[in-house]
Amino acid sequence: MDFSKNNEPVLNDSANIVHINSAGDDTVTVDAGAAGNGNAKPAVDARAGVLRVNPDAEIEKTMQMRETFNKLFNNLLQQGIDFDRIPGTDKPTLLKPGADLLCQVFHFASGEPKLLSSIEDFQKGIFSYTVAVPIIHRDTQTLVSTGIGSANSYEVKYKYRYVDSEKGERVRVLNPDPADQQNTLVKMAAKRAYIDGVLKATGASRMFTQDVEDMAWLAPEKASIKQINYIRMLYRNVEENKMLESISGITGRKVESLDEIYREEASKIIEERKKYTRS
């Protein structure tokens, strides 16, 4: 559902356009007309709460959409490029290339991003931006959905920097100049809004979650240099490929390099490897 300039809900699809206008009481009137047909017919009382639609047709449309997504997921979308799996999340994460591919398949395009709100406090180093991105059907120029995304300098990804200490550990320090990231924050907010809009327009949220790859406050922290060195020590008599195979079994996902390991995973690997060497 989208909103007109008068803040009135507007439902759009490729076949017809339905306007729901409040009459100032408990009654809601609906003007429905097929494409090219201007005949308006009052259809709905808000107390009924249900639009007069064809349930069988809607079910069939939904089933076709689900089948299309399954084909996309199995045949076109590539893990690590179009989507990825972030430890700690229950769904694959849709990435921007995957969102672009969905738009291509369903003939969608993104409209002009709009800055909804911003905070710029140079003294406190607080910068926050919220952006809206419309998703439009290319063939009909119909507004299908509007994605909302935000980014701010207090996210872990932007508030801190990671440096290696003298002890070989990765430590977190405050970003000394958050104002340098204003442009980055605006672009990130727009990117998140775009992906949010694509998920809404396609119904892909059933299969994917938001782009948590770029939401550092949700993504796990990478393993420290100290942890990685300790893991290498525990596997010192094991070939590299055998080590990665063992680690993949422990983490439950394919690991091709120790640089891919997260801090919690590293702790689990160390614990399991210690048990193995003691047995």
Closest by CA to 189, choosing from 101, 94, 118, 100, is 118
- Tell me which of 45-49, 124-128, 142-146, 177-181 is least confident: 45-49
Asked if the model's pLDDT at residue 6 lies above 80, the reply is no
CA distance 56 to 35: 21
Q: Which residue has the higher pLDDT, 131 or 67?
A: 131
CA distance 268 to 271: 5
- How do residues 212-268 score in pLDDT, each as one tens digit? 555 444 455 778 888 899 999 999 999 999 999 999 999 888 888 898 888 888 999
Asked if the model's pLDDT at residue 14 lies above 80, the reply is no
Asked if the model's pLDDT at residue 86 lies above 80, the reply is no
pLDDT at position 102: 92
Asked if 246 and 261 count as a contact pair (C-beta separation under 8 A), the reply is: no
User: In Å, what is the CA distance from 166 to each residue of 56, 162, 171, 225, 258?
Assistant: 67, 13, 10, 11, 21
How many other C-beta atoms are found inside a 10 Å radius of the C-beta of residue 164?
A: 12
β-bridge pairing 83-84 and 93-94: antiparallel
Q: Which residue has the higher pLDDT, 157 or 217?
A: 157
- Tell me which of 39-43, 65-69, 100-104, 259-263 is least confident: 39-43
Instruction: Return phi, psi of residue 230, to 5°.
Output: -70, -40
Q: Which residue has the higher pLDDT, 237 or 46?
A: 237
**Average pLDDT of every residue of the chain:** 78
Asked if 245 and 236 count as a contact pair (C-beta separation under 8 A), the reply is: no
Give the distance, in angstroms, between the CA of residue 25 and the centroid of all CA atoms in the same chain. 39
Helices (H) and strands (E) in the chain, counts: 7, 12
pLDDT at position 13: 40
pLDDT at position 53: 65
* CA angle in degrees (0–180, nearest 5) for 50-23-116: 85
Mean pLDDT of 95-99: 90
Closest by CA to 58, choosing from 20, 11, 100, 93, is 11
